[in-house]
Amino acid sequence: PAPRPSTPQVVLARLAALRAAVERGEEPARIAATLVEDVVLLTRATQGALVRFAASDDPVRIASAATPGLSSREVELSRTLLGRMLREERAVFVPSTLDDAELAGARSLASTGPLSALAVPVFAEGRIVGALYLSAPSVPGLSPEATDLATAYTSEAAALMDAQQVRAR
């Protein structure tokens, strides 16, 4: 596959464009879709999703993206991984779901084969309000650096979720 453009300059330019879109008051759904597309492009992810949590900690999908050849509707979320992220209140990176005792038996991942997966919490007012979720086949898989990049995007995700709540009110 072609190398992905993830130089610091590209990442900063994309983050600045997202921040400007939020400040201009652009449609949150479009900004969320761009955010997820950016993260999928900049990491080795093949699919990703931005979710917010309802009162019962059920993930509600805000936006999804996938690399060419996959439909963003096919993005499968692991509730087990999201649950671990919620319990630990931090980003959770799993290089291979088959090598992880908790995830190896997860129903949502049973048919996917080995995946590398990442769930990064989105914080607002000191609590987790959502997550940025990424996955890819474990070879070549996501790198640990994907955690840093996805974490940088979560502050934009928090701003988007806040804008959606304000708009809904």
pTM: predicted TM-score of the whole model, two decimal places: 0.85
Contact 151, 12 (CB under 8 A): no
Q: Which residue has the higher pLDDT, 166 or 62?
A: 62
Helix (H, G, I), strand (E, B) or coil at 157: helix
Largest CA distance in the chain: 45
Residue 2 has pLDDT above 50, yes or no: no
Q: Scanning the structure block, which residue is given the tokens 């072609």? A: 2
Tens of pLDDT, residue by residue over 77-127, are 888 899 999 999 999 999 988 888 888 877 766 666 678 999 999 998 888
Q: Which of 101, 111, 102 is nearest to 83 (CA)?
A: 102
At 169, the pLDDT band (50, 70, 90 cuts) reads: low
